[in-house]
Chain A
Amino acid sequence: MTSVGVIVGSLTSILSHPFMRNAFLAGTGIAAACGLVGYFVVLRGQVFTGDALSHVAFTGALAALAAGLDLRLGLFGATVAVAAGMGLLGRSGRADDVVIGSVFAWMLGLGVLFLSIYTAGSSGANGTAGVSVLFGSILGLSAGSAQIAAAIGVAVCAGMVLIARPLLFASLDEGIAAAAGVPVRALGIGFLALVGVTAAETTQAVGALLLLGLLAAPAAAAHQLTARPFRGMALSMGLAVLAMWAGLVLSYLFSVTPPSFSVVAVATAIYAAAGAGGTVLRGRGTTRRHVTYGPAAVYGAGLAEVDDLA
């Protein structure tokens, strides 16, 4: 029980710092949104889309900085616009991966351009802005922006909860869902817009280059551990929040590790552990191994839950 005492003691000392309180507030909202959205990103096989949006976030933020606007304006504007655009261009609200690759290669080039314009114009006073957009700066959030970040996280979660059932149906079997009157295409585009908001949101915490870790790893771990969709969504959210909290505590205890690194490292470790644990679990029931995890299994478990819908 002494270890519990040590943990509680260090937690109270951590939370006595205002910047850590802000980081925990913003981080919890961000991680919850990432976990929930990420569950569907992995289920729908759209991890590469998330990857592309992370680079769009970089370009959007630097475009706003180069134009002298608020960073968040560019972040959210660019990611939501590009996400909706990718949904509109692709068939049934999904985009072809060569199209995604082409668009985001260009976006990256534009980001470099804006970075050079911004660093040339700002006379070195704010030269680290590019780095904090790429790698995040959750410890530098003010109380106000932490509250906004938490509120947006809650709003994204609420939006996801609203569309979760029809979106699950549409993700598992597009044809049947469309025949049952589910607006598959609109859902796909709406979902991508939510991914865009999440990407912009997460960029503030772990940075544009690392947000994929928070989006993909906890969700993939949840997919390994359970096939039941609503349990998986909750688990994915929980694991993402856990990774965020553990990462923040770790980077507080060991000051060499930046929070972005420790958050992504914990998320990756959780995924690796879930992968190993999932293999052990499946080893017990070898006859059912091909359907006990992953989207194929969610398909089986999910259709049972979706049946309640119809």
Chain B
Amino acid sequence: MSSVRQLLSYPFMVNALRAGTIVAVVSATMGWFMVLRRQTFAGHTLSLVGFPGAAGAILLGLSPAFGYFGFCGLAALVIGSADPQAGTSLYRQESAIIGTVQAMAIAIGFLFVGLYHGNLNGLTGLLFGSFLGITNAQVVALLVVAGCAVVVLGAIARPLLFATVDPEVAAAAGVPVRTLAVGFLLLLGVAVAETAQITGALLVFALLVLPPATAQVMTGRPALGVVLSVALAVGVTWAAVIAAYYTPYPTGAFITTLSFAAYALARGARLISERTRSTRPLAAAQIPA
């Protein structure tokens, strides 16, 4: 307890935990839908696109935030305009488009960093982020953007879930499937842009994918799944920020390793429970309905 109190006596640690919590909540809720919609590749590309945006903004003497939001929003529109419903053969073509867009975006970012006369520490910061040195103003900005994103997601959650689970039936029932798809990508872009300013372009993806994937292995119920995903993400982020304080290793390494361990455990537990159920079919049948 005294060590925790000592930890919290540093303002930078308090801000790291605050920002980490906000980032974890947003990524876990957005990520739950992203994983359900099987858009991990698109999500990864959106998170990388922030890098050239930020590098370009710095080159022009602007705040990196402009670059993050501008590029992530634009990329969300580009990816959203490619129609994934138009048949599986086109989908493969689409994944080639996403891959090319991603490589090109990073190449442009690299060029911008080079033109800025190679501040290599800045480069690592853009890619891998930093949980330390977050100001109070940044925490407030993060909270406002994150709050808006989560509220909007909450407003469209039910139709989005419907459109994700069964797009054809949803379209027949009058749900604007296509608008929802583009809207969700935009929302994801905004969340990623905000998060990337803290975690860096490369590590946003870990919080977007791992806690939601773990939650979806553990439960199929949507509300419970989102809650579980948020709890996992927040827990992992806190543990990682604290662990990084006591060791010389970066926060990102702890976040990814802890969340991957949770994912592997959940998969393992599920595998074992499926095995035991299939070898003892009577026991499964005896469970009252």
> Least Cβ distance of A34 to chain B in Å?
12
Within 8 Å CB of B90, what residues of A? 294
Q: Is the CB of B250 within 8 A of A112?
A: yes
> Interface stretch among B66-74, B98-106, B280-288?
B98-106
Is A158 in contact with chain B by the CB < 8 A criterion?
A: no
Within 8 Å CB of B253, what residues of A? 109-110, 112-113, 116
Within 8 Å CB of A97, what residues of B? 38, 40-41
Is A215 in contact with chain B by the CB < 8 A criterion?
A: yes
Residue on B nearest A106 in the bound complex, by CB: B260
> Interface stretch among A10-18, A147-155, A253-261?
A253-261
Q: Is the CB of B99 within 8 A of A105?
A: no
Within 8 Å CB of A101, what residues of B? 35, 40-41, 44, 205, 209, 213
Is A191 in contact with chain B by the CB < 8 A criterion?
A: no
Interface centre among B93, B203, B263 (most CB of A within 10 A): B93
Q: Among residues 79 to 113 in chain B, which have CB atoms less than 8 Å away from a CB atom of chain A?
A: 87, 89-93, 95-100, 102-104, 106-108, 110-111
Q: Which of B40, B89, B92 contacts A98 (CB 8 A)?
A: B40
Q: Is the CB of A105 within 8 A of B209?
A: yes
Q: Is the CB of B100 within 8 A of A217?
A: yes
Q: Is the CB of B89 within 8 A of A106?
A: no
Within 8 Å CB of B98, what residues of A? 47
Is A209 in contact with chain B by the CB < 8 A criterion?
A: yes
Is A76 in contact with chain B by the CB < 8 A criterion?
A: no
Is B125 in contact with chain A by the CB < 8 A criterion?
A: no
Within 8 Å CB of B35, what residues of A? 98, 101
Is B174 in contact with chain A by the CB < 8 A criterion?
A: no
Q: Mark B247-272, 1 if CB is under 8 A from A, else 0.
A: 01110111111011001000000000
Is A220 in contact with chain B by the CB < 8 A criterion?
A: yes
> Least Cβ distance of B65 to chain A in Å?
22
Within 8 Å CB of B111, what residues of A? 256-258, 261
Is A296 in contact with chain B by the CB < 8 A criterion?
A: yes
Is A283 in contact with chain B by the CB < 8 A criterion?
A: no
Is A216 in contact with chain B by the CB < 8 A criterion?
A: yes
Residue on B nearest A293 in the bound complex, by CB: B93
Complex CA distance for A217 and B106, rounded to whole angstroms: 14
- Chain B residues touching A, majority SS: helix
> Interface stretch among A80-88, A178-186, A193-201, A264-272?
A264-272
Is A102 in contact with chain B by the CB < 8 A criterion?
A: yes
Complex CA distance for A113 and B15, rounded to whole angstroms: 23
Q: Is the CB of A116 within 8 A of B257?
A: no
Within 8 Å CB of A51, what residues of B? 41, 44, 99, 102
Q: Is the CB of A260 within 8 A of B110?
A: yes
Complex CA distance for A48 and B115, rounded to whole angstroms: 30
Given the known interface contacts A45-B92, A295-B92, the answer about A264 and B38 at a Cβ–Cβ threshold of 8 Å is: no
**How many residues of chain B have a CB within 8 Å of chain A?**
53
Q: Is the CB of A113 within 8 A of B107?
A: no
Within 8 Å CB of B110, what residues of A? 135, 209-210, 258, 260-261
Residue on A nearest B92 in the bound complex, by CB: A45
Within 8 Å CB of A135, what residues of B? 110
Residue on A nearest B260 in the bound complex, by CB: A106
Is B17 in contact with chain A by the CB < 8 A criterion?
A: no
Is A157 in contact with chain B by the CB < 8 A criterion?
A: no
Q: Is the CB of B213 within 8 A of A102?
A: yes
Within 8 Å CB of A223, what residues of B? 93, 96
Q: What 6 A-B pairs are tightest by C-beta distance, nearest first? A: A109-B256, A213-B103, A113-B253, A220-B96, A106-B260, A296-B89
Question: Which residues of A pack against B, CB within 8 Å?
Answer: 42-45, 47-48, 50-51, 97-98, 100-103, 105-106, 108-110, 112-113, 115-117, 120, 127-128, 130-131, 134-135, 209-217, 219-220, 223, 256-258, 260-261, 264-265, 267-268, 271, 294-296
Task: Give 14 A-B pairs besides A112-B250, A213-B100, A217-B96 with Cβ atoms closer than 8 angstroms.
Answer: A45-B92, A102-B260, A102-B263, A105-B205, A105-B209, A106-B256, A108-B203, A116-B250, A209-B110, A210-B110, A260-B110, A261-B108, A294-B93, A295-B89
